[in-house]
A and B are shown apart, each in its own frame.
Chain A
Amino acid sequence: MPSTHDYSLAELLIAAAATAWRGNGEVLASGIGIVPRLGAGLAKLTDSPELLMTDAEAYLVEEPVPLGPRGDYRPKFSGYMGFERVFDCVWSGRRHVMIGPIQIDRWGQTNLSGIGGPHRPKVQMLGMRGLPGNSIHHANSMFVTNHGKRVFVEGEVDIVGGVGYNPRRWPEGARREHVDLRLIVTDLAVLDFGGPEHAIRVRSLHPGVTFEQVQDATGFPLLRPSDIATTPAPTPDQLAIIRRLDPHNLRATVLKGNPPGVPDAAARR
C-alpha cells in the first residue's frame, strides 16, 4: 500500500486545481501553466468529462494531451479553437481559466503586467494579455507557487489587469455580474471568494499548514471559517492519471525542491 508520503505537493495542488472545474458544465477549461493544465486534464478524465479542452495550440480534443514530447501519441482533434475563436469563447462567457498572476489583491484584482505602477514600471512583465477580457466575462481561478506578501499584496496590485470586486474601480453603469472569481490554489492553501462582499477566505489548508502561517504570508486579512478542512490527498486513481498526463514529470519543476505532499514534520506527528 502506498503511504500518504507517496505524492508530491505539486500533485496535491493538481488535484486541488481540478476541483475548480467540477460542475462547470460544457465550458472551455483553460489551465495555463503545468499545474493548472494538469488540473484541467484531471477534471476532464474524472468527474467532469463534459469540459472542452485544447491541445494547448489551436485544436479541441476530447482526450487531454500529455505535456511535452509525445513519442507515438497523436492528439485526436474534435474541433477547432484558434486564438480568434478563443476570444469569441471568452466574450460568450463559456470558459473557466486558471492562470498564475504575479500579484493578487484582497479584491481579487490581478496583475501580469509589471511591478511598480502602470506609467513607468520598474519591472516590465508579460503585459495585460487577456486578463481584462477574461475577468469581466467568465469564471477565473488563480494558481500561486510561492504564497507570500509579494504576491498577495497589502494594497491594490501595482497594475490592474484582471478586474475584481473593488467597488472604487467600477464606473457607474458598468455590468459586473459576469465577474466570477472562483478558487486560488497556492502552495499553502486553497482560498475562495466566499466571504461577505466576496472577501477572500481560507477554504482548505494543505497538510501541515496552519491558518496563522497562511495569514502571515498574506498582505491582507483572510476570513477564517470555524471549520477549515485539510486539502484532500490525491487518490491513487488521480495520481495514475496525473502521471500519465505528465510523462516527463514536468510537475516536479513547479515548486522549489519538489516537496512532498505531507511535510516530514507533519507526518511524524
Chain B
Amino acid sequence: MLDKVVSARDAIAQLRNGMTLGIGGWGPRRKPMALVREIVRSSLTDLTLVSYGGPDVGMLCAAGRVRKVIYGFVSLDAIPVEPWFRKARESGAIEAREIDEGLLQWGLKAAGMRVPFLPTRVGLATDVLTMNPDFRTIRSPYDDGELLLAMPALKLDAALVHVDRADRLGNTQTIGPDPYFDAQFARAAERCLVSCEELVERMDLAYPDDARLNQFERYFVTSVVHAPCGAHPTSNPPAYGWDMEHFKRYVAAAGEDDGWARNIGQFVGGSEDEYLEQAGGRARIARLPVPVF
C-alpha cells in the first residue's frame, strides 16, 4: 500500500541546492511554514522561489538561501511590505523577477500543461518586460495579428503546499474560503511536498462527504508531512488566524543589527516542536482569531 508520509526533515532532504521551488498560499495566508522552517534548518541554498510571497520568501531571503525570486508581491497584508524581502531586494542580494500576479498563475498553468508559454496581454507596455528581459512577445497567427506576451512556463523542481487534511496516499483537502493557486503549484512541479494539519489513514473513510475540498490529485503529491499549526505565523482559516504579535517581532527584528542571527531561535527554532513551544504552543495558535476584513 502507498504510504507517502515522511518527516519534514526527510521531505526537505529530497531537495537540492539550486532548485526552483514554488510555494503555495498567498502573502500571510496558508503558507507551508513548517516546511520553510525545515529548509532554514537544512543547508539548502541558491534557491529560486516562485511565490505569492509572504514570510516564506522573507525568511528564506533572511537566511541567505535565495538566488532569485519570481513574484507579483511579497507582503504581510496588514504590514504591506515584507521587511526581510525588502532588505534583500534593496541591497541587491537577490535577483528579482517581478511580474503581475495573474502572469504568475499563467506561468504555472503553462508548466502544468507542458507547453512552453501561454499568450496574454498582461505585462505589455509595463516594466514587467524590463525586469524580465528574457520574456518574448508573439504575434497572433490568426487574421487579427495581435501582439501578445508569451508568458514562459514556470517549471518547478518542487512545490510546497499546506493543507488542512491529508491521508497516507496523498489525498488532500483544503477547507479555507480561498484555495489560492496551490493546485497550479502542484501541477507545475516535478514533486509536491504537502504539509497538513490533520493526518488520516484514508480520506475516503475519514471524510467521504468533503471530496469537493480536494484541490489537486494525489498523483502530484510526493510526500506528506504531518505538521499541526504548520502554517503559523500565517493564517489557516477556519482553524486559526495569522499571529500579528509574532509578525510585529519579526518586522522589528529586521530593523536590528544582526537581527536574523539574533532571533533565528524564535523564528525557526532547533525543531518544529521547539518553535511551536516558543510561539506559545499549539493551544495558543489554535485560538488565534481569524482576521476580519
Q: Which single member of B71, B74, B122 contacts A132 (CB below 8 Å)?
A: B122
Interface string of A126-166 (1 = CB under 8 A from B): 11111111001100000000000000000000011111001
A-B Cβ contacts below 8 A, count: 136
Quick one: closest A residue to B26, CB to CB? A83
B34-42, B85-93, B162-170, B196-204 - interface stretch: B85-93
Please state if B125 and A160 are interface contacts (CB–CB under 8 Å).
yes
Task: List chain A residues, Cβ under 8 A from B127.
Answer: 113, 118, 159-161
Given A121-B90, A129-B73, A84 contacting B181 (CB threshold 8 A): yes
Q: What number of A residues sit within 8 Å (CB to CB) of B?
A: 49
- B85 contacts A124, C-beta separation under 8 Å: yes
The answer to whether A128 and B73 touch across the interface, beta carbons within 8 angstroms, is yes
* Complex contacts, B260 vs chain A, CB 8 Å: none
Expressed in whole angstroms, the Cα–Cα distance for A23 and B256 within the complex equals 51
Contact of B126 among A125, A132, A178 (CB under 8 A): A132
- B125 with A171: CB separation less than 8 A: yes
B92 touches which one: A120, A137, A160, A176 (CB < 8 A)?
A120
Residues of A within 8 A of B125 (CB): 136, 160, 163, 166, 169-171, 174, 176
- Given A59-B177, A82-B177, A174-B147, are A132 and B123 neighbors across the interface (CB < 8 Å)? yes
Interface status of B130 (Cβ within 8 A of chain A)? yes
Chain A residue at smallest Cβ distance from B177: A58
Which of B89, B100, B101 lies in contact with A121, CB distance below 8 A? B89
Q: Find chain A residues with CB under 8 A from B178 CB.
A: 57-58, 82-83
From B86, B124, B146, give the contact of A136 (CB < 8 A): B124
Minimum distance in angstroms from B184 CB to a CB of chain A: 8
Say yes or no: B90 contacts A122, CB within 8 Å: yes
A174 touches B293 (CB 8 A): no
On chain A, the residues within 8 Å of B281 by CB distance are none
Are A129 and B89 interface neighbours, CB within 8 A? Answer: no
- A132 close to B181 (CB less than 8 A): no
* In the assembled complex, B131 has its CB within 8 A of some CB on chain A: yes
Q: Which of B53, B90, B100, B177 has the most CB of A within 10 A?
A: B100
Whole-angstrom distance between the alpha carbons of A58 and B105 in the complex? Answer: 17
Check A124/B86 contact, CB under 8 A, given A82-B179, A87-B105, A132-B100.
Answer: yes
Binary per-residue interface labels of chain B (25-54) against chain A in the complex, 1 for a CB within 8 Å, 0 otherwise = 010000000000000000000000000010
B102→A87 contact, CB < 8 A: yes
CA of A176 to CA of B146, assembled, Å: 11
Interface pair B100/A133, CB less than 8 Å apart: yes
Chain A to chain B contacts (Cβ below 8 Å), 29 pairs: A57-B293, A83-B180, A87-B105, A90-B102, A118-B98, A124-B86, A125-B81, A126-B75, A126-B80, A127-B72, A127-B98, A128-B72, A128-B73, A132-B100, A132-B122, A133-B100, A133-B122, A136-B124, A137-B122, A160-B125, A160-B126, A160-B127, A162-B126, A163-B125, A169-B125, A173-B145, A174-B147, A174-B148, A175-B146
Interface residues of B (CB under 8 A from A): 26, 53, 71-75, 80-81, 85-86, 89-90, 92, 98-103, 105, 120-128, 130-131, 137, 139, 145-148, 177-181, 292-293
New A-B pairs, 4, CB < 8 Å, besides A83-B181, A166-B125: A82-B177, A118-B98, A124-B85, A126-B73
Nearest first, the 6 A-B pairs at minimum CB distance are A173-B147, A127-B73, A56-B293, A58-B177, A132-B100, A133-B122
